[in-house]
Amino acid sequence: MTVGEEEELPPSKLGTKEHWDGQYSRENAVYDDVGDEGEVWFGESSVTKMRKWATEHLPPSKELIRVLECGSGNGTLLLSFLTSPETSGPQPFHLTGIDYSEGSTRLSRSIEANRRDTLRADAEENDEVVNPAKVEWRTGDLLADDMEEQWDLVLDKGTFDALCLSQEVVAERGGRLPSVVYPEQVAKLVKTGGSFLITSCNFTEEEIKRRWTKEGLGFDSSVPHKSYTFGGKVGTVVCTVAFKKCGGTKTDAAIADSAGKVIARAQGGNGNMAEVCQVVRFKISIADGPRWEHK
Ligand SMILES: C[S@@+](CC[C@H](N)C(=O)[O-])C[C@H]1O[C@@H](n2cnc3c(N)ncnc32)[C@H](O)[C@@H]1O
């Protein structure tokens, strides 16, 4: 199925709430039994890479930095913000995880309590500093709920991938597909000047950039990855891409480098070009006098 320019993924059980309710019911039982935290989507290295990106890109602040994880699962990505590298010093955080499966909220609460106990018990041996962090786990549907709130950093690890495996249209959003509605909904949750950081396995970096450059989100940077295991298959490429929410004056035209990072903007117009997301690629040669070549 194709929507606009984009080819949609075929539907799968990973796109259904029943699947996730079942998954977290099993994971809660295993956690209560033996303390196993459950599936870490795309492995620990993706958590490390996303946390490292945040350490390097969030300006330290005496105020609380608000971080949201969309579809927070067992909460392990969000809980990586309980500590910071010693060199950065303690950073106050307000961490919010939202997931539509109640089982995810219960599992995350249990894991958080255990992590906090371990951090207290091992205080002397930690090579990281413990952050003053308030954590909130909410049950909510990111496609349907209206959230009149914004965050400094919004995270997605595997949730966009899962949602795009559903072709059940969203009645509350004009009967459109989750793959179209979700980026619009999530972009609204990012503060002006804030960031959105996504790790995906079902889309290439270019596809992610195309689908997410909207509602004021512009490409910021990407994080390199090797291969990973997903659904039992090894070797598919994961990408982590960061976007920044621009505000104030709208952009009429921008020049990007070969990686797609914006290096210059023309501002002051009404922003029509940005709104229709026109991307026109030119190669500019100046060796024998200026020459523009449409790619
Ligand atoms: C692949 S899992 C990723 C979980 C977590 N981000 C991680 O990396 O471990 C996708 C998560 O998205 C949640 N999810 C899917 N659709 C959702 C929706 N419409 N609203 C909120 N959460 C949703 C699922 O319950 C599941 O926990």
pLDDT one-digit tens code per residue, 226-245: 765 666 665 557 999 999 99
182 close to ligand 1 (CB < 6 Angstrom): no
The domain of 254 spans 249-295
Q: In terms of domains, do 260 and 155 share one?
A: no
pLDDT digit string, tens, across residues 144-171: 999 999 999 999 999 999 999 999 999 9
Q: What is the pLDDT of residue 127?
A: 85
Q: In terms of domains, do 256 and 197 share one?
A: no
Q: In terms of domains, do 228 and 108 share one?
A: yes
d(CA 120, CA 131): 12
Q: In terms of domains, do 65 and 87 share one?
A: yes
Q: Report if pTM > 0.85.
A: no
Nearest-atom number in ligand 1 for the CA of 199 is 8
78 close to ligand 1 (CB < 6 Angstrom): no
Which of 247, 267, 284 finishes a domain? 247
How many residues are listed for the chain in this entry? 295
Q: What is the pLDDT of residue 266?
A: 66
Q: In terms of domains, do 231 and 173 share one?
A: yes
How many angstroms does the Cα of residue 158 sit away from the middle of ligand 1? 7
Query: Hey, whose CA ends up nearest to atom 14 of ligand 1?
Result: 71
Q: What is the pLDDT of residue 5?
A: 64
Q: What is the pLDDT of residue 7?
A: 77
222 close to ligand 1 (CB < 6 Angstrom): no
243 close to ligand 1 (CB < 6 Angstrom): no
Reading phi first (left if > 0) and then psi (alpha if -120 to 50, else beta), residue 271 is in left
Output the domain CATH number for residue 75.
3.40.50.150
Q: In terms of domains, do 236 and 273 share one?
A: no
Nearest CA among 163, 76, 56 for reference residue 173: 163
Mean pLDDT rounded to a whole number for the chain: 87
Q: What is the pLDDT of residue 276?
A: 36
How many angstroms does the Cα of residue 246 sit away from the middle of ligand 1? 26
Q: What is the pLDDT of residue 264?
A: 72
Which of 230, 247, 264 finishes a domain? 247
Q: In terms of domains, do 159 and 283 share one?
A: no
186 close to ligand 1 (CB < 6 Angstrom): no
d(CA 250, CA 228): 39
Q: What is the pLDDT of residue 280?
A: 56
Q: In terms of domains, do 208 and 109 share one?
A: yes
Query: Hey, whose CA ends up nearest to atom 23 of ligand 1?
Result: 71
Q: What is the pLDDT of residue 172?
A: 95
| Number of domains the chain is built from | 2
Q: What is the pLDDT of residue 228?
A: 59
d(CA 74, CA 40): 8
How many angstroms does the Cα of residue 99 sit away from the middle of ligand 1? 6
pLDDT band at 273 (very low <50, low <70, confident <90, very high): very low
Share of the chain above pLDDT 90, in %: 69
Share of the chain above pLDDT 70, in %: 79
Query: Hey, whose CA ends up nearest to atom 1 of ligand 1?
Result: 158
pLDDT band at 251 (very low <50, low <70, confident <90, very high): low
The answer to which of 3-17, 141-155, 197-211, 229-243 has the lowest mean pLDDT is 229-243
Question: Nearest 5°: phi and psi at 120?
Answer: -65, -45
pLDDT digit string, tens, across residues 35-50: 999 999 999 999 999 9
Q: In terms of domains, do 79 and 177 share one?
A: yes
**Alpha helical stretches, state H, the chain:** 17-34, 43-57, 76-79, 102-121, 159-163, 178-187, 205-212, 272-275
pLDDT digit string, tens, across residues 85-128: 998 889 999 999 999 999 999 999 999 999 999 999 987 778 89
Q: In terms of domains, do 191 and 272 share one?
A: no
Q: What is the pLDDT of residue 22?
A: 98
Per-residue b/e over 247-279, b at no fewer than 16 CB within 10 Å?
eeebbbebeeeeebeeeebeeeeeeebbeeeee
Q: In terms of domains, do 225 and 89 share one?
A: yes
Q: In terms of domains, do 160 and 104 share one?
A: yes
What is the DSSP-derived secondary structure letter of residue 266? Answer: E
